[in-house]
Amino acid sequence: MRLSKLSNAVVAALVAAALFGASTPLAKQFVGDMSALMLAGLLYLGSGAGLLLVRLLRDRGWHASGVAPKQWLWLLGAIACGGVLAPTLLMLGLARMSAASASLLLNLEGVLTALLAWMVFKEATDRRVVLGMLLIALGALLLAWPDSSQLAVGTAGAALVLAACLCWALDNNLTRQVSSADALFIAGLKGLSAALINIGLGWASAQSLPAWGITGSVLLIGFLGYGLSLALFVVALRHLGSARTGAYFSAAPFIGAAIAVGLFQEATSSGFWLAGILMAAGLYLHLTERHEHPHWHGEMQHSHAHFPDVEHRHEHR
């Protein structure tokens, strides 16, 4: 892979992190205006509808998705984990803890993504990334350990956010299996599917949509923080793999925590700042990691542009 393509993939992962990180404290402001199901559904409606509209404008019509028949099972699993379960669990968790603490806890998504990538999907890694993941996990443990005055609420909120992280980690690794297809199609389909299921469940339980002003704001947050962010994330997955994309995406919680504290003036504790320092050290190890080694692979098919390195440039009979 050319260095420019690798750099573009890293930029895509970091921009995706910034957009998603900002969405958590912004969505927190609407938790009291509707149920967790309806809020998650509207976020993904903004994501799916916005991305598919962008795709129609880009292609001047509807074109093939590029998803192979055998890849649809991976994609459906990703939709169930990341589009239905994870956002609902996150909204339920946000109702029980501060947006700043929830944002930092979301760092565990990258840790769990990498663990699944290494242990289940057999991606390569190195000690620097592993050490970074351990620091992030220690910070998350510190955040999830409530004081005696908030034991029940703090534990419940942290458990729900951690469950959301696990669902998104599964989503990331499943999406990696279809990342060669059109990123806008994948992200748009995931968004619309999740929206239909969450909003449908909300209506089935006699929940109604909020005022149009609130609905429009949530749709915009969903388009930027879930839709555009996910499309860029898929692009990064294609070139970096699940573990390394998840490592770069670990920047997202810091952006969310900064907005929650700086813009919305949320209260913090010494434990919050200590956890932030541990996680920042882990993120630094991720961002300064370099993945370079000689390798050999058999015959491969590429559905995207592929540029061979120096060792691969030779004539063939």
> Is the Cβ–Cβ distance between 168 and 23 less than 8 Å?
no
Decide if pLDDT at 28 tops 80: yes
Q: Which residue range forms the structural domain that includes residue 260? A: 3-291
Would you list the DSSP string of the chain? Answer: --HHHHHHHHHHHHHHHHHHHHHHHHHHTTGGGS-HHHHHHHHHHHHHHHHHHHHHHHHTS-------GGGHHHHHHHIIIIIIIHHHHHHHHHTTS-HHHHHHHTTHHHHHHHHHHHHTS-----HHHHHHHHHHHHHHHHHHS--GGGHHHHHHHHHHHHHHHHHHHHHHHHHHTTTTS-HHHHHHHHHHHHHHHHHHHHHHTT-----HHHHHHHHHHHIIIIIIHHHHHHHHHHHH-HHHHHHHHTTHHHHHHHHHHHTT-----HHHHHHHHHHHHHHHHHHT--------------SS-----GGG-----
pLDDT on residue 313:
43
Q: Residue 51 — very low, low, confident or very high, per pLDDT cuts 50/70/90?
A: very high
State the Cα–Cα distance between residues 233 and 227, nearest whole angstrom: 10
Q: Give which of 261, 264, 215, 227 is closest to 30, Cα–Cα.
A: 215
Question: Quick check: is 314 in a domain?
Answer: no
And the tokens for 98?
């501060």
pLDDT on residue 42:
93
> Is the Cβ–Cβ distance between 33 and 89 less than 8 Å?
no
Residue that wins the pLDDT comparison between 206 and 232: 232
* Total Cβ atoms within 10 A of residue 315: 4
pLDDT on residue 291:
52
pLDDT digits (tens, 9 = 90+) for 117-160: 888 876 666 677 778 777 877 776 676 565 544 434 457 888 89
Question: Quick check: is 297 in a domain?
Answer: no
> Is the Cβ–Cβ distance between 33 and 213 less than 8 Å?
no
State the Cα–Cα distance between residues 134 and 129, nearest whole angstrom: 9
Number of folded domains in the chain? 1
- pTM summary value: 0.68
And the tokens for 123?
């991606």
State the Cα–Cα distance between residues 30 and 32, nearest whole angstrom: 6
pLDDT digits (tens, 9 = 90+) for 55-72: 999 888 777 667 888 888
pLDDT digits (tens, 9 = 90+) for 71-88: 889 999 998 898 888 888
Residues in Cβ contact with 76 at an 8 Å cutoff, skipping those fewer than 6 apart: none
Question: Quick check: is 312 in a domain?
Answer: no
pLDDT digits (tens, 9 = 90+) for 242-270: 777 877 777 777 788 788 888 878 777 77
State the Cα–Cα distance between residues 239 and 307, nearest whole angstrom: 12
Question: Quick check: is 300 in a domain?
Answer: no
State the Cα–Cα distance between residues 250 and 138, nearest whole angstrom: 14
And the tokens for 56?
């129609």
pLDDT digits (tens, 9 = 90+) for 182-214: 888 888 888 898 899 889 888 888 788 888 889
Question: Quick check: is 304 in a domain?
Answer: no
Question: Quick check: is 303 in a domain?
Answer: no
Question: Quick check: is 296 in a domain?
Answer: no
Q: Residue 167 — very low, low, confident or very high, per pLDDT cuts 50/70/90?
A: very high
